[in-house]
């Protein structure tokens, strides 16, 4: 019978159910009895965002060839699942798109909040995958007339993984006629193959955290945008998977006497503002969400990361991790991060563990004369004291 772990949203606006195949059983493994102390995940690698004079990054944190291979393999696995024989029961099939679909919906919700009369007719999706943003833009049943959410009429989907890019190219879904699309296989880290001032909007959902040259990509996004164009993205942040980081470090220290990076060195929230200012984006807006996902055990969590194409691609990662270390990791994870039952939710019990993902949302604009401008220093005609009312006077 299927297990159904949940996406437990920190905003508590709604609760999603993500289907999952019952994975490796943890009933036979031993318990690790340790004190429940609060641990901050160790930063095995620090993400450097320094750049050269031409705006390109001077540091390399990820092996992009390995990452492309991982995503290609994940796309092929999903295609095999979708092409499975009819005699396979639907409950035995697993989809691993639930997290990216949710973040794409949240990002497009923010796009819907931006009121612009002409909308964003021509849009570029960087790191599009099989089309999470495309589906989210076309999904609103309340839309009337031409264009998807945000007035998007043409969406160019760009991705470095050809298998992932074309995974769902032949699929049809309701509302897809609202917005035309074109798929382009190209590297996100290089020069974008478009002239200056081409797009009204550049958008990206859960793709930038594996990019080495973030300063260069931000600069390219600025270049291909029209004046008063919008750059909007959702990016996995540095406070992601702290539970897995802690469990892996404790297991390696116990079994091997040392530690190595198993989770990518993602960007911190404080770096995003600097990146946007360096790329000369105006009116930046940044906020974060923390998404909590429940799984039966740590083995299923790691299986899902692999099936999503989110394996570790750090250049300093180990070639191989011993099976005994993984077993210890699962035991520690189960001991430290087991979810407790909550009132009114009898299905949420000690057999599930929690994983946390920090998602950074940001919006920036290319400068334009029509935008709000700060007043020149010394141009004020009134003093603050003239407009601030003392509540003790005349009350």
Joined tokens for residue 274: 């600097």
Q: Give the mean pLDDT of the chain.
A: 78
Using CA atoms, how far apart are residues 212 and 47, in angstroms rounded to an integer?
9
Domain boundaries, the chain: 55-76+96-375
pLDDT at residue 129, as a whole number: 92
pTM of the model: 0.79
| Non-local CB neighbours of 209 within 8 Å, separated by 6+ positions | 235, 236, 237, 264, 266, 267
Using CA atoms, how far apart are residues 252 and 292, in angstroms rounded to an integer?
25
pLDDT at residue 262, as a whole number: 67
Work out the average pLDDT over 53-80: 79
Using CA atoms, how far apart are residues 230 and 4, in angstroms rounded to an integer?
38
Question: Could you tell me which residues are beta bridge partners of residue 357?
Answer: 291
Question: Given a cut of 90, is residue 385 above it in pLDDT?
Answer: no
pLDDT at residue 191, as a whole number: 92
Higher-confidence position of 376 and 190: 190
Work out the average pLDDT over 362-376: 83
Q: Quickly list DSSP for 318-382.
A: -S---HHHHHHHHHHHHHHSBPPPBTTBTT--TT-EEEEEEEEEEEEE---TTS--PPPTT---S
Please report, for the chain, how many H helices and E strands are present, in that order: 10, 9
Smallest CA-to-CA distance from 305 within 342, 341, 355, 377 is with 355
Lowest mean pLDDT among 2-11, 67-76, 177-186: 2-11
Question: Could you tell me which residues are beta bridge partners of residue 251?
Answer: none
- Band of residue 1 on the pLDDT scale cut at 50, 70, 90: very low
pLDDT tens per residue across span 297-321: 999 999 999 999 988 877 777 677 7
| Fold for the domain defined by 55-76+96-375 | Rossmann fold (3.40.50)
Using CA atoms, how far apart are residues 91 and 227, in angstroms rounded to an integer?
50
Question: Given a cut of 60, is residue 19 above it in pLDDT?
Answer: no
Question: Can you tell me which residue has the tokens 């709604």?
Answer: 14
| Non-local CB neighbours of 283 within 8 Å, separated by 6+ positions | 363, 364, 365, 371, 372
Higher-confidence position of 180 and 392: 180
For residue 7, give the 3-state DSSP assignment: strand
pLDDT at residue 248, as a whole number: 87
Question: Given a cut of 70, is residue 350 above it in pLDDT?
Answer: no
């Amino acid at each position: 019978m299927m297990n159904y772990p949940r996406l437990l949203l920190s905003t508590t606006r709604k609760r999603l159910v993500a289907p999952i195949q019952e994975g490796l059983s943890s009933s036979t493994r031993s318990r690790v009895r340790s004190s429940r102390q609060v641990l901050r995940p160790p930063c095995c690698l620090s993400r450097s965002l320094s750049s050269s004079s031409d705006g390109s990054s001077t540091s390399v944190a990820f092996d992009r060839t390995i990452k492309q291979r991982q995503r290609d393999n994940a796309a092929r696995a999903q295609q095999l699942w979708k092409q499975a024989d009819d005699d396979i029961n639907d409950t035995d099939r697993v989809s691993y798109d639930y997290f990216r679909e949710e973040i794409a919906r949240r990002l497009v919700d923010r796009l819907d909040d931006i009121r612009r009369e002409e909308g964003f007719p021509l849009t570029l999706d960087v790191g599009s995958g099989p089309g999470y943003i495309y589906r989210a833009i076309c999904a609103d049943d309340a839309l009337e007339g031409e264009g998807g959410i945000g007035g998007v009429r043409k969406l160019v989907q760009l991705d470095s993984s050809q298998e992932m890019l074309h995974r769902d190219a032949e699929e049809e879904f309701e509302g897809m006629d609202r917005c035309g699309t074109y798929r382009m296989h190209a590297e996100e880290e290089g020069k974008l193959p478009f002239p200056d001032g081409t797009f009204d909007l550049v958008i990206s959902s859960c793709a930038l955290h594996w990019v080495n040259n973030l300063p260069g990509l931000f600069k390219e996004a600025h270049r291909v945008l029209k004046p008063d164009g919008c750059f909007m993205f959702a990016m996995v942040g540095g406070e992601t998977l702290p539970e897995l980081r802690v469990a892996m470090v404790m297991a390696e220290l116990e079994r091997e006497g040392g530690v190595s990076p198993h989770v990518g060195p993602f960007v911190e929230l404080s770096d995003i503002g600097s990146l946007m200012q360096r790329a000369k984006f105006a009116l930046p807006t940044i906020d974060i969400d923390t998404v909590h996902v429940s799984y039966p055990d740590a083995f299923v969590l790691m299986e899902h990361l692999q099936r999503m194409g989110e394996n570790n691609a750090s250049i300093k990662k180990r070639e191989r991790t011993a099976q005994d270390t993984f077993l210890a990791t699962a035991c520690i994870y189960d001991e430290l991060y087991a979810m407790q039952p909550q009132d009114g939710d009898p299905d949420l019990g000690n057999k599930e563990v929690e994983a946390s993902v920090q998602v950074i949302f940001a919006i920036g604009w290319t400068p334009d004369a029509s935008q709000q401008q700060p007043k020149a220093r010394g141009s004020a005609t009134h003093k603050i004291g003239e407009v601030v009312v003392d509540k003790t006077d005349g009350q």
